[in-house]
Structure 1
Amino acid sequence: MPLSAKDLLSIARDYWRPDKHFNYRPENSPEEEKFLDLWELELKKMDPWRAFLRDLGESLPDFNIGNATATCDACFRCSVYPKAEGKPQPRRWVVVGCLSILAPVYTIYGVQYSGTGGERIVGIFDSLPPEMQAPAEIVAKRMEVTFGVSVLSRELAETPIPLIVEPKEPPNTTLFHALFISQPERVP
């Protein structure tokens, strides 16, 4: 049975605060302590994530696969870049797969780089350009099979929540930010 927005918000409240009462204090908030403890447990499970990345590389031989996980975010992240092989590309892009550590859900999004300054344009969820769709489908299928998770629908992901996930603050914070990452455009 899929989790509802209410269920997911309840989970997010365990790890994110609605206020800044602990900003500039020497101690962490109870929510941050719980988040750090969860990451400590999750980091002990890196072998399955590394195996997933290796398998993904075998399934996508024309792509570079990277581990974009950062423990300040609420997910494991992988990046899938097309191999350039010395050819200039008119548009550079990356497909990103996120596996939440807070709930049994994942999401896929894409980032396009445009212009000479490397400006990044994030296209989240089902609005991926055609060249990103095939690798995104493979990443999605592998996440579902390997980790037994389901995709977080766009509707649920865009649900506003009354929590702060730095640098996002209400009314701009969504379940996507709390369950995955607050700055999806940041891809190494």
Structure 2
Amino acid sequence: MPISAEELLSVARKYWRSDHEFDDKPENSPETERFHDTWEQALKKLDEWRALMGELRVELPHLNIGHATATCDPCFKCMVYTNQQPVSSDPQEDEPRSRLWTVVGCLSVLAPVYTVYGVQYDYKGREVRGAARVFFEPLPAQMQALAQVVARKIEARYGAKALPRKIAETRVPLIVHRKEPPETTLFHALFTPEPENLPL
């Protein structure tokens, strides 16, 4: 049975506050303590997450698989990314332009849900140019097959359910790091407030 937005908001409220009451206090809020305790338990399963990435390396040997988990975010995270692909061949440019596609798989440590999204980075030479573009379902065609592989692996290993985009975009009255209402969504509370921030 699918989890509703209301149920997920109830879960998220256990870990994120709607005020800044503890910002200048030496002690953590009860929500922060709960978050740290949850991560402490989740880290005992880190080897299982690494095993999932090993399965991805076997199934996608021609691509790069990266570990992107950060315990400030409420999820395990992995990346499948392409090599940089040329996007222009203007002889007047001093440095070639290229593009890198990344498919990101996230398994929440707060609720039995996962998501897969895409990020596009444009480069000039070796430098990223402009802001990264984040894509949610439906993903661009060049990301769809990779996303299906990542989703299948997460579902098979963890039994988690994909969080539908409509529910993921539900606005929540919570503060998740620097993301504050009215911008905060269930996606931010269950996965990451900065989906474009990846260790490339």
Give the corresponding residue for 1:96: 104
Matched, 1:34 2:34: yes
* Distance 1:110-1:120 versus aligned 2 partners, 3 A rule: farther
Give structure 1 stretches of 5+ with no counterpart. Answer: none
Secondary structure at the aligned position of 1:161 is classed as coil
What TM-score, normalized to structure 1?
A: 0.94
CA displacement 1:44-79 (0-9 Å, x = unmatched): 111111110100111111111011000000000001
- Deviation of the 1:166 alpha carbon: 1.2
1:177 counterpart = 2:177: no
8 A contact 1:56–1:139 mirrored in 2: yes
Deviation (angstroms), 1:115: 4.7
Is 1:143 aligned to residue 154 of structure 2? yes
Task: Report the Cα distance in structure 2 between the residues aligned to 1:83 and 1:122, rounded to whole angstroms.
Answer: 17
**SS of match in other structure, 1:33:** helix
Aligned equivalents of 1:184 and 1:168: distance in 2? 12
1:183 maps to a residue whose letter is E
Give the structure 1 partner of residue 69 of structure 2. Answer: 69
Q: CA contact under 8 A between 2:134 and 2:195: conserved in structure 1?
A: no
Aligned partner of 1:29: which letter? S
Write the deviation string for residues 119-176 of structure 1: whole angstroms up to 9, x where unpaired. Answer: 3433332132211111111001111111101100000000000000011000000000
The range that moved more, 54-63 or 120-129, is 120-129
How many equivalent pairs are there?
186
Percent identity for Structure 1 against Structure 2:
56
1:106 aligns with 2:114: yes
Letter in 1 for 2:116: I
Letter in 1 for 2:189: A
Structure 2 counterpart of 1:35, one-letter code: F
The correspondence for 1:155, drawn from 157, 166, 169, is 166
Superposition RMSD on alpha carbons, in Å?
1.4
Q: Which has the larger radius of gyration?
A: 2
Which residue number in structure 2 is paired with residue 129 of structure 1?
A: 140
| Other-structure match for 1:166 | 177
Separation in structure 1 between the aligned mates of residue 123 and residue 66 of structure 2, nearest angstrom:
23
In 2, Cα distance between equivalents of 1:72 and 1:122: 22
| Rounded Cα–Cα distance in structure 1 between residues aligned with 2:5 and 2:146 | 28
Letter in 2 for 1:95: V
Match of 2:18 in 1: 18
Unaligned runs of 5+ in 2: 88-97
Q: Distance in 1 between matches of 2:159 and 2:188?
A: 21
Query: What letter is aligned with 1:47?
Result: D
